């Protein structure tokens, strides 16, 4: 019997050691599970934050795209305005040049008419002076007047 008791005791000791080992393994497994559960929660939190950031980035990207489209519309309007202003300035310059040409032509015509009238009044065109009763070729007054007219015409050229 004693052998039998020793065997039972040995088996019981072995059983206690195995139970102790199983308990130790269970504790390790629980620790690992807790660690993995903590990491999983941490990763889930990171994923949630990344999704929030991604949503913020998408909203900001949409806002920037809207702003870019608005700026493009304003740029197109500004380009149209600049084009119209350029066209108006070109038209105004052309009209101004045309008007200046017309005014220059009118001034040249007036000068021509005045010169013709002055030439007709120039006493040197006639052979006789009409301001003196005597029959002289030209008097001093008419000669001076004619000389001044001739010098004025020369100065114009």
Lowest mean pLDDT segment, chosen from 12-16, 66-70, 114-118, 139-143: 139-143
Cβ neighbours of residue 143 closer than 8 Å, sequence gap 6 or more: 123, 124
- Mean pLDDT computed over every residue of the chain: 83
pLDDT band with cut points at 50, 70 and 90 for residue 137: low
pLDDT at 125 over 90: no
Mean pLDDT of 78-93: 85
**Per-residue pLDDT at 155 exceeds 80:** no
pLDDT at position 138 is 62
What's the whole-number mean pLDDT along residues 46-53? 96
Distance of CA 37 to the CA centre of its chain: 56
Tell me, what's the pLDDT at 87? Answer: 86
- Which tops the pLDDT comparison, 156 or 109? 109
Residue 129 CB neighbour total at 10 angstroms? 19
pLDDT of residue 135: 52
Res 127 pLDDT > 90: no
Q: Which residue has the tokens 């913020």?
A: 56
Is 20 within 8 Å of 12 (Cβ atoms)?
no
Q: Cα(76)–Cα(74) distance, rounded to whole angstroms?
A: 5
Band of the pLDDT at 131, cuts 50, 70, 90?
low
Q: In this model, does residue 1 exceed pLDDT 70?
A: no
Statement: residue 142 has pLDDT above 80: no
d(C-alpha 133, C-alpha 86), whole Å: 69
């Amino acid at each position: 019997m004693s052998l039998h008791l020793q065997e039972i005791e040995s088996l019981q000791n072995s059983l206690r050691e195995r139970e102790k080992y199983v308990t130790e393994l269970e504790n390790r497994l629980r620790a690992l599970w807790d660690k993995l559960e903590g990491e999983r929660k941490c990763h889930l939190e990171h994923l949630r934050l990344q999704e929030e950031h991604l949503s913020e980035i998408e909203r900001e990207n949409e806002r920037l795209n809207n702003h870019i489209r608005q700026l493009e519309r304003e740029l197109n309007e500004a380009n149209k305005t600049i084009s119209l202003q350029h066209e108006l300035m070109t038209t105004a310059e052309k009209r101004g040049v045309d008007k200046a040409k017309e005014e220059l032509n009118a001034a040249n015509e007036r000068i021509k008419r005045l010169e013709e009238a002055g030439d007709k009044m120039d006493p040197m065109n006639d052979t006789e002076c009409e301001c003196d009763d005597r029959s002289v070729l030209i008097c001093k007054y008419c000669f001076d007047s004619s000389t001044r007219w001739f010098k004025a015409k020369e100065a114009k050229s």
